[in-house]
Amino acid sequence: MNRVAVDLPVEDAPSAAARVPDDGRLAVSGFGSVGYPKAVPLALAESTGRTLSLTVVSGGSVGDEIDTALVEAGAIERRFPYQARPAAREAVNARRIAFQDRHIAGLGDEVVSGGLVAPDVAVVEALAVGEDWLIPSTSIGHTPAFVEAADRLIVEVNRAQPLSLRRLHDVYRPGRPPNREPIPLTAPNARIGESRISFPREKLVSVVETDRRDSPYAFRDPSSTDRAIAANLSAFLATEIARNPAFASSVNLQFGVGSLGNALMGELDGVDVGDRTVAYYGEVIQDSLLDLIDDGTLSVASATSLALSAEGQDRLFEDVERYADGIVLRPADVSNSPEVIRRLGVVAVNSALEVDLYGHVNSTHVGGTRVLNGVGGSGDFNRNALVSVTALPSRVRGKGVSRIVPMVPHVDHTEHDVSVVVTERGVADLRGLGPSERADLLVEECAHPDDRPALRAYLDRARGRGGHMPHDLETVFDWA
């Protein structure tokens, strides 16, 4: 297959960047810091004689070419729905960039309907492009929705990624509301789409050829705390799988992105699942999932992004054919679909900054004010999973600050969406418990021993005030 079909408008990156209006609304591919355009954003950042005030929407996190170079050039005015680079984070918290955090599942609908942003131009990375189609690269994310919504399309064809990655893709485009039919996906290994994204020929205005690797994840080595959390999670999963009739024959798991999620996945091979089939159905494929596919623990891993380290990318790229039956990449409005998550009875495991005594979770804002990255897809999975687990250390590493607190200063996931909390200290199964029962269990099972007396004292003061969910509002944020 030719990477670029004949008679397409091939040009260099600066020429393509000139097609983006100074105040353009830009939809870019990318999810899990992979599969994003690189040359055109750099050309925009390096352009002279222009005052750029771009609105940028991506499916998820992207690389330095967008969230560092464009930010440092002062070219981004608005950003949706996620950012994960220090330069972008600093600009957002300094309010130089207007940022809105959004759930992932419905983002494509919001863009197509114009409710969030109506993009002028979509700039997407591809393995190959024809006159009315493209094959996505290392992530799919919301690229199909962005291509549909944008007036014009610029495609970067990246030769640094093997064309054989197309074997992983399963592009299914849900219809538009209110006439959308059910997504016909009944198992994580099922394929319901095709390897490419189609578009009207007249949309394609530019093709840029590149040869540049993604900015990959760098996973830290698991700490002793990570391993203790993993051991507690594994014990809970083994008990739950044996107890719950929904897992009589198969188990479908999801883990959040990042070093802790990667470490937790790495311990799954120690969970006794009997003769049950174990599959992954989530957002991102990380390095540990390759290990679990290799050792036969997982039958399949379904996601929307190959969020791998540099070593993980090399490992996959060198042996795509062997992994092709064990990995499926889907659009984010399928991978994160509430309908499908519920149908498959997913067990979701996501991390957080802190959890309060009644089970509310803050995943995004330090001190309730400074955003880290964004809620990502954790809300999609926490709310719709059959069992939702929040896993986190009991204390902030190296600071002696409790992550089990009386009240979180920012709520991303309410008490209604959290089933179980796991720390290195233990497991709190909150299902079926009233608020006071939940509080007692979280203190005894999940809080650090040195923090338990102050948490108990707070509860005593709060309960003296009465109420269904007691709080002492005068001391809730200075309880220790």
Burial class (CB in 10 A: 0-12, 13-18, 19+), 395: buried
- E runs forming strands in 308-449: 327-329, 347-350, 354-356, 361-362, 365-366, 370-371, 387-391, 395-396, 401-402, 404-405, 420-422, 427-429
d(CA 189, CA 280) in angstroms, rounded, equals 9
Q: How far is Cα 256 from Cα 349, in angstroms, rounded to an integer? A: 6
Q: Which contacts of 224-230 are long-range, i.e. CB under 8 A and separated by 24 or more positions?
A: 225/393, 225/397, 225/424, 226/259, 226/260, 226/263, 226/264, 227/263, 227/267, 228/424, 229/260, 229/263, 229/264, 229/391, 229/392, 229/393, 229/422, 229/423, 229/424, 230/263, 230/264, 230/266, 230/267
Q: Which residues pair with 391 in a beta bridge?
A: 422
Q: Is 155 helix (H, G, I), strand (E, B) or coil?
A: strand
Q: How far apart are CA 412 and CA 435, in angstroms?
A: 18
CB-CB contact of 381 with 345 (8 Å): no
Q: Which residues are catalytic?
A: 283
Q: Which two tokens stand for residue 229?
A: 């959390």
Query: Any idea which residue has 């233990």 for tokens?
Result: 426
User: CA-CA distance, 453 to 448, in Å (whole number)?
Assistant: 10
By three-state DSSP, how is residue 115 classified?
coil
